[in-house]
Structure 1
């Protein structure tokens, strides 16, 4: 009977030992999933895709309840980069390569646009530029186009380039405008007649009621600032 008990104890020891080792070993699949979630969160506001490296399946790491994931020291989250996977409590640290491919996006006309049109959000959209040769002078954000005026006509789907757009005129020839004269210690207002068109920040001449002409800078509200 005693011999049987000893044999049974040895058998249980052989069966349980691998299970204990398994329970104490870090799940590498879970570690890779944690790395993937980290990169997805980091790139959530960027038009980018990424490819993670793989951990060597032969690795046997002590199990970690809360493994940490971060960019490797000095790594740039673009192109060929790397992550540090670590567990200070268990005393291990790994480096996992990651390749990030940034999509180049450009602004295109969502419909045919005519010269002089003021662009709205419905007039433009973003599209991926598959060739670097296409990217020269192409706008890459919608806010660079919305609110701007077209210099020339373009068909639907055309790339919108910086030289195709201009700020809309806030002052037009013969328009009655408010003139704000400002100098050291004084401010005065009057009205006059614009002698030309002007966008915000551009210079424009104004004929005053006295017949005198002054030169000032067009403001957002359509007034003209004359500084002395």
Structure 2
């Protein structure tokens, strides 16, 4: 009887040794599954608040959720709080934080997420040299992923037509804010014509530019009498001053 009992206990021991790792893995899988469900439930309303709203330019979003490491072992937690890590946003490749705020030990883990936002944008259709002035003929409308780059899409033609390219642009690129800069109308030290008008009158004088003049932006000009004024730089290399 004793040898038989000994063999039985040994067999039970082996069974437990094989079973316990499986139980631990199952517990870990259940834990990560619940955390990922929490992240998904938080994501949708957060995404609706984060995506730019424009009825004329609606964006169609697609989300690819990553997964936590299935081997993750975390202390029990009564309340898990989803959050967006500081300095990040739900745009392109990002992550959702999950932190324990009620439990024997505090922890913080992150679920990777990729947010795509498809919508109409102006796309370069022919090579454009660096420093060239963009025209309507340089681009065409197409659907692109706005979130493929952190730089803002310039979705309306008036936002980029007449702007200089910051670097050479190749076909297929969506026009974004980092690709263009205002055209330089004059340099600091140049003689500039300053115009001003009102009801029944107009004034035009020549002054000295104290700052470089970029079309659509403000520039400071010293008038002949020494007075310094600020005006809006025009495409014809003049400055319009409001009285």
TM-score (norm 2): 0.41
Q: Which has the larger radius of gyration?
A: 1
TM-score (norm 1): 0.43
